Chains A and B, each alone.
Chain A
Amino acid sequence: MSRTPLDTVEHATATPDVELPWAELGLKKDEYERVVEILGRRPTGAELAMYSVMWSEHCSYKSSKVHLRQFGEKAPRSDALLVGIGENAGVVDVGQGYAVTFKVESHNHPSYVEPYQGAATGVGGIVRDIIAMGARPVAVVDPLRFGAADHPDTKRVLPGVVAGIGGYGNCLGLPNIGGEVVFDACYQGNPLVNAGAIGVMRHEDIHLAKASGAGNKVILYGARTGGDGIGGASILASETFDDAKPSKRPAVQVGDPFQEKLLIECTLEAFQEKLVVGIQDLGAAGLSCATSELASNGSGGMRVTLDDVPLRDSTLSPEEILMSESQERMCAVVEPEKVDRFLEICDKWDVIATVIGEVTDGDRLEIFWHGGKIVDVDPRTVAHDGPVYERPYARPSWQDALQADDANKLPRPQSSGELKDQVLKLVASPNQASKKWITSQYDHFVQGNTVLAQPEDSGMIRIDEETGLGVAIATDGNGRYAKLDPYHGAQLALAEAYRNVATTGAKPLAVSDCLNFGSPEDPAVMWQFAEAVRGLADACLQLGTPVTGGNVSLYNQTGEAAIHPTPVVAVLGVIDDVARRTPVAFQEEGQLLYLLGDTREEFGGSAWSQVVHDHLGGLPPKVDLERERLLAEILISASRDGMIDSAHDLSDGGLIQAVVESALLGGKGARLIVPDGLDAFTLLFSESAGRAVVAVPRSEELRFNDMCGARGLPATRIGVVDGDTVELQGEFTLPLEELRKAHEETIPALLA
């Protein structure tokens, strides 16, 4: 094979005028010049590969960083926070010596290109983040957003995404306990595939991504490295090296959940024997990211011999090896005397493990190939000192007109018959319909600790069999609200997830977020982003729930059309005894239905306005975080003291959606009355925040009312659990079977 000389550091120094394809790798001219300035010479091809991928928007957060700082600056004081932003995932103290780590990430674009593998590897990546903290993964959740439910491409994307999530997560043995599925034409070319995971460990088992202790070995273990997801590096390869080799590398990464399952078990066994000093998973930017992050977070430098990386494809160039995004790989730092035992455990699980380098006492990351030094950098300049942009932002010109287009002025139903028809239409609409066809493709039961799973308000997992200690998680986000008002829309997403956790009886503790937006180069989108972050940070401060980590996904747009700003918020909560959880389903006939909170005429961004009028305009519901906090406290107390037997938060679709869901899940109907001061339409469809509907046993009514009265939470009796119909007195009666048909047949009819 004919080759130009290896582009070593020495070679780069001697050939300063060689032109490198920095633009093709996505670097801007000033960014490339900065690399040259940092190094004091032109980068080698391998260095350029590393900087370009680590300084990408995806890895460096260069557009979002200046705003994300607020999550730190405005963080509420919280005793529960053990590890905050900046690590693979945040860690929260949940008591009894347990710590819980959780995070939500996006895998949007890959899932549009190849739905099955894109979604599958999204699950794989988030789970490795959890393992890398030292925790055993115990559950996953998947907030998903697709284009219009009846669009032909949705039928391509959604079944693939769902099969991919199931195919990967089910094979790992992780119960899927929550998430959402939302349809909106704005996501047509940009589906949002967010994936969240929770892990549990003892406090003393927390692990961090850092390489300390000169002489410690760097071990790469898991799958062999192949040419996955390295479209960019191939440009370098083809220009620098042999032109004849196969340079077209697949941009799609293919997941192997079986390999990942082995990786989980073998990593946890190594943790248990205290063999690991530092650990990092290989995700975006592969070895470039893992080595530079481990080295820059540790006390010394690192030396790596790239020839020792086990390859699936022997034709890979060193640049490609550094950029490869092959899945199911991890990198551990292990003391020399523990290396043998570490390798033994890997062998037990049939996992390939190789020492590829060691920690040095210098402060450089040095990488060698065929005896030549091809990388010699300060790892911090790669991992942490990437460019930071103050992108211009401006409130879009159309925002005022959008908010002025008041949904409260839309025509309302004029008769009982019309009201009833709209109820049926609402519960059958794709966004409000049952998602059972989707969630039944996920394993909810594996691990034997699932207390609640979707369609409950939050997923709940028991983490201690003796004491009943458990954790709950809910994810929410309403792009329609955020489009109308990104500041309050983001707060409403937090409020809803917070409320969902409390509705099941758990105390909200901490937040992770996945911020899905359009192009940061559009000042209107950047304004939406800045407003959403500001809103979320302010609300987290007020509710006392710190953001522990998360993910930003930008460039979710097709041409000029960006998606609705879609901040997805995950709230983690703790419950002392899962036996006290509150389910959504009605439990017993005769129990009294109480509506908690204030109901106002708020229809901006509502499901009703979308389903009945295909309308988006006005203002989203008013945010009252103090009310949210009070409601949560009441729901938790009532759950703990056995005053309520079922509860459901009110959000999109309003009261009627909540009552129909509780009735169908419990197989018991409800008789409702319109309380004084409200009209039937507003009672049923308003989306005022800070509300829930609860079922109170008659024996607890007095005590429950006393508690709400004493705490100042409005509680209005609106009916009773009864019969096999949902009846609104004087307006309509709908048999459960008719509602069930409407609610459950929509999604299979569209997608099966």
Chain B
Amino acid sequence: MTARIGVVTFPGSLDDRDTQRAIRLAGAEPVALWHKDKDLHQVDAVVLPGGFSYGDYLRAGAISRFSPVMETVIEQAKAGLPVLGICNGFQVLTEAHLLPGGMLGNDHLHFICRDQKLRVENTSSAWTVDYSAGQEIHIPLKNMDGRYVADEYTLDKLEAEGRVAFRYVDFNPNGSLRDIAGITNEAGNVVGLMPHPEHAVEPLVGTGRTDGLPFFTSILKKLVNA
């Protein structure tokens, strides 16, 4: 039996089916979860996908964070359920206070779509064990509100505890403080990042790289060994 990984569809989610494909390619079973349904259908992990849920109106992720499915996700994440938030999913996680800090509009005020170089700095989280520390990878990035901000105390704490999971290398695409691209919670089961690993899993499409696949093999390894 393989792992079942849920992918939540909020109204305005865009990369939900792409994330399901990535999960399938990694060898796990994707399970579609619906924002109005509190039931997580016994999945072993959850991905909150990219997109513009509720049009990013109010603030990116702010309305989705109050959807019925999130009540369960928040509760179970606190109990150790592995959760990955990609782009809009990362925004939902900060709005839900499962991850510290917040997301704001890119400092250059434009949407940006590029093949982004990252450095992996945390390889102990549920979603990063298949990377090696310091590994540099290229993952597509595409966002409007990708600027990670937090107060100095929080930033220092994240650094001290090794919870900056990914950092932008060579070019900071959105003005994120300390070049932060992704972070984990204290327990390491919740990870959020702006770039889109689900778009770097096949050599033929996207940027033609597969640097994003280890996200999904990491969680599979974690779940199957558990």
Contact = CB atoms under 8 A, between A and B. Distances in A.
Direct contact of A and B (CB under 8 A): yes
Interface of A: 163, 166-167, 170-173, 256-259, 261-262, 349-350, 439-451, 462, 465, 468, 578-579
Given A450-B205, A462-B204, A578-B204, A442 B198 contact: no
A563 B9 CA distance: 46
B110 interface: yes
B180 interface: no
Contacts of B14: 171-173, 261, 446
Contacts of A578: 204
A-B residue pairs, 4 tightest by C-beta: A258-B55, A173-B14, A448-B18, A445-B199
A173 B15 contact: yes
B222 interface: no
A463 to B, nearest CB: 12
Given A350-B11, A448-B18, A443 B205 contact: no
Contact of B206 (A170, A173, A440, A445): A445
A358 B207 CA distance: 50
Interface in B10-38: 11-12, 14-15, 17-18, 21-22
A258 B11 contact: yes
A443 B55 contact: no
Contact of A451 (B17, B111, B204): B204
Contacts of B198: 448
Nearest to A578: B204
Q: How large is the interface on B (under 10, 10 to 19, 20 to 34, 35 or more residues)?
A: 20 to 34
Contact of A171 (B22, B52, B204): B52
B205 A448 contact: yes
A442 B55 contact: no
A441 B142 CA distance: 9
B113 A262 contact: no
Contacts of B17: 447-448
Interface of B: 11-12, 14-15, 17-18, 21-22, 50-52, 54-57, 110-114, 140, 142, 144, 196, 198-199, 202, 204-207
B140 A445 contact: yes
A78 B142 CA distance: 40
Contacts of B206: 445, 448, 450
B55 A171 contact: yes
Contact of B52 (A257, A350, A445, A451): A257
Contacts of A171: 12, 14, 52, 55-56
Given A257-B55, A445-B140, A167 B111 contact: yes
Given A257-B52, A439-B113, 10 more contacts: A167-B111, A170-B111, A171-B14, A256-B55, A258-B57, A445-B113, A448-B18, A448-B205, A450-B205, A465-B21
B12 A258 contact: yes
A529 to B, nearest CB: 36
Given A258-B11, A262-B11, A443 B204 contact: no
Nearest to A452: B205
A167 B111 CA distance: 8
Nearest to B114: A440
B84 to A, nearest CB: 17
Contacts of A446: 14-15, 18, 50, 142, 199
A447 B11 contact: no
A451 B205 contact: yes
